[in-house]
Amino acid sequence: MAQQEMSLSWFSLLSLLLFKVFVSGVFSLNPNGSEYISAVGDPGMRSDSLRVAIEAWNQCNEVGEEAPKMGSPRAAECSDVLDSQQQGGNCSACTRVPPSLVHRVTEEDNLLGIGKSFDGLDKKALFNPDLYAAEKELYLGSKCQVDDKPNPWQFWMIMLKSGNMDTYAAKCPKNGHKVGPFGPPSQFPCFGKGCMNQPLIYHNYTYLQGPNETTLKGSFYGSWDLDSGLSQTSVNENISYYSVTWQKELGQGSWIFHHVLRTSTKYPWLMLYLRSDATSGFSGGYHYQTRGMSKIIPESPNFKVRFTLNVINGGGPNSQFYLMDMGSCWKNNGEPCNGDVTTDVTRYSEMILNPATPSWCKSDSPKLCPPYHTYPNGTRVHRSETTRYPYEAYHLYCAPGNGEHVEQPSVPCDPYSNPQPQEILQILPHPVWGEYGYPTTKGQGWIGDPKTWELDVGRLSQSLYFYQDPGTAPAKRKWSSIDLGTEIYRDANQVAEWTVTDFDILVPNKN
């Protein structure tokens, strides 16, 4: 099915543009300018200057091994459009592409990989692929950084992840503790040795194109199938594939980020997200210093997220399309994370948009339900109160593997897929979320229904259940990653395709 639909994608994009013209006339939800400010470096994706990076993670959010000839799986494109006056100046560090576009990151920077030194590289990272990637991200960030108040910022982050795991290779710790080989790996796909490889990453640099050279367009794309070999990789082959193409008209509107993700027999579990990560500190699921777009870290309950999403292809029944995916980190005693992977806990919450996703939280089997649901008026309902608890509002809840007082029955989260324990709360479209601007019925915002969302993510995330040890002060819920995208879970030969535009995070203006 997917391949026929692919060719229609740019038509769908066109209809999204028409849709946007339509909504801009009637859409007046904008919070008052004086009350809210943007937390991101490029509010609404409207700057002609581009700041975008890409990263690839293995099952436990590390590199493990670099793909041949690809360098470390971190790359960036940061370009500035200069008017003719600006072009008169000096730009010794830049490579010039057509007249008025300057690229801050070179191909050589993007191909940096273990064994190759660069400014600021710590010696102990030189031959360690995991540490090297983390430092390369900082280096690319230094080339892309834009000074701003209250903090400088660097780039949107495209994140790729493969769920393959070679349990016999013992590469991933369990809840942050090193473990030996085990098997067979029933819960993880793996075609054999080397199944945790990093993808091929190709780059089409942005340049001004179109009849009047007024369209900025570029992309990152590739495959996890290393033997596919060709840089002409495309979605129309039976191999894994991803691409993110960005496009913008000079001086007008938003960047359009167009995403494609395809799974294959060897790589049936793949993820592709566009993230607004913290510009320093840790970001969701990443236990190294990060770089990103959120110059202010949004904190519950006071923030909103606005964007336009057009889902063109869903990615099949097992595509967990996240309307909103938030990542944070705090310890079970409520304290902020400090990099100790045995006590830090990644906290995730996601709204799954795919109408095919069922609720696994059931009144007669509450182990996958969070212990409590809290209504917007503050009323808290226990999962045993079958007449008042909204079971269908939840896909699943799983508890942190190191929670000592988790209410039973419960299911622990996958102990391997993060460098540290994790807790996940996944919600589904349901009337209980309507108060926060989220979809209330299945199908809203799905294929054929592009929408501009303004989500009260702050209030919603404040109301959600997350585990803490009894008697501890509630954690400050600071969301260092706010993402959009999909995770196609163990389903080969599925294609997902979507666009994101106008992305912004709004926080109260404290001045």
Task: Enumerate binding residues for ligand NAG (CB under 6 A).
Answer: 32, 34, 90, 204, 210-212, 214, 219, 221, 237-238, 243, 245, 375, 377, 379
Residue 87: CB atoms within 10 A of its CB come to 12
CB of 88 to ligand NAG, least distance (A): 7
Min. distance of Cβ 102 from ligand NAG in angstroms?
A: 15
Give the residue with the Cβ less far from ligand NAG, 272 or 406: 272
Q: What are phi and psi of 190, to 5 degrees?
A: -165, 125
Q: Minimum Å distance from CB 503 to ligand NAG? A: 21
What HEC string does 201-225 produce?
CEEEEEEEECCCCCEEEEEEEECCC
**How far apart are CB 143 and ligand NAG at their closest, in Å?**
19
Q: What residues are paired with 425 via a beta bridge?
A: 349, 397
Shortest separation between residue 5's beta carbon and ligand NAG, angstroms: 15
Residue 333 or 386 with smaller CB distance to ligand NAG: 386
Q: Which residues of 9-40 are buried (b: 16+ CB within 10 A; e: fewer)?
A: beebbeebeebbeeeeeeeeeeeeeeebbbbb
Nearer to ligand NAG, 28 or 212 (CB): 212
Task: Rank residues 24 and 87 by Cβ distance to ligand NAG and give the closer one.
Answer: 87
- What number of residues does the chain have? 511
E strand spans, 58-99: 74-81, 95-96
Whichever of 365 and 509 has its CB closer to ligand NAG, that residue is: 509
Our CB check for ligand NAG shows the closer of 168 and 205 to be: 205
Beta strands in 190-301 (DSSP E): 202-209, 215-222, 241-249, 252-262, 270-277
* Nearer Cβ to ligand NAG (303/467): 303
First vs last Cα of the chain: how many Å apart? 53
DSSP string across 317-335: TTEEEEEEEEEEEB-TTSP
- Which residue's CB is nearer to ligand NAG, number 34 or number 85? 34
Q: Which one, 2 or 505, has the nearer CB to ligand NAG?
A: 2
Spatial contact of 306 and 370, defined as CB atoms under 8 Å apart: no
Q: Minimum Å distance from CB 122 to ligand NAG?
A: 30
Q: Provide, rounded to whole angstroms, the least separation between the CB of residue 322 and ligand NAG.
A: 23
Least separation in angstroms between CB 34 and ligand NAG: 4
Left if phi > 0, otherwise alpha if psi is -120 to 50, otherwise beta: which for 212? alpha
Burial class (CB within 10 angstroms; exposed 0-12, middle 13-18, buried 19+) of 419: buried
Give phi and psi for 101, each to the nearest 5: -115, 125
* Shorter beta-carbon distance to ligand NAG: residue 187 or 236: 236
Residue 230: how many other CB atoms lie within 10 Å: 10
**Residue 222 to residue 229: CA distance in whole angstroms:** 10
Residue 210 or 443: which CB sits closer to ligand NAG? Answer: 210
What span, in angstroms and rounded, lies between the C-alpha atoms of 110 and 430?
43
Q: How far is the CB of 2 from ligand NAG (least distance, A)?
A: 11
Q: At closest approach, how far in Å is the CB of 487 from ligand NAG?
A: 21
Measured CA to CA, the distance from residue 255 to residue 244 in angstroms comes to 12
How many CB atoms lie under 10 A from the CB of residue 215? Answer: 15
Q: How far is the CB of 172 from ligand NAG (least distance, A)?
A: 31
User: And the tokens for 6?
Assistant: 């692919």
The alpha helices in 7-148, defined as continuous H runs, are 9-26, 84-87, 107-110, 129-144
CB nearer ligand NAG, residue 100 or residue 289: 100
Spatial distance between the Cα atoms of 245 and 258, rounded to a whole number of angstroms? 5
**Would you call 448 helix, strand, or coil by DSSP?**
coil
